[in-house]
Amino acid sequence: MYRIQNLINSPYQIGDKTIPARGVLECDDLTSAELSLIKSVGYFKVEEIEKPKPAKRAKKEV
């Protein structure tokens, strides 16, 4: 999963995803071509993050 922070005041569209102006996009379905394009532009801060695990439910006492 990737967190992409837009450092400029304009939204940026990559494929079907839009990185908001001065905002953050978190997605896990980036292709390698999209990721390399984002990194080559230089207006973005790209971080690889761990996908959050689903919360565990408490066991019911019978």
Q: Could you list the mean pLDDT of each consecutive 10-residue stretch along the chain, which spans 62 residues? A: 94 91 92 91 91 77 70
Chain-centroid distance, C-alpha 35: 10
Q: Which residues contact 11 (CB under 8 A, 6 or more apart)?
A: 18, 19, 20, 21, 23
Indicate yes or no: pTM above 0.85. no
Give yes or no for a contact between 39 and 48, defined as CB atoms under 8 angstroms apart.
no
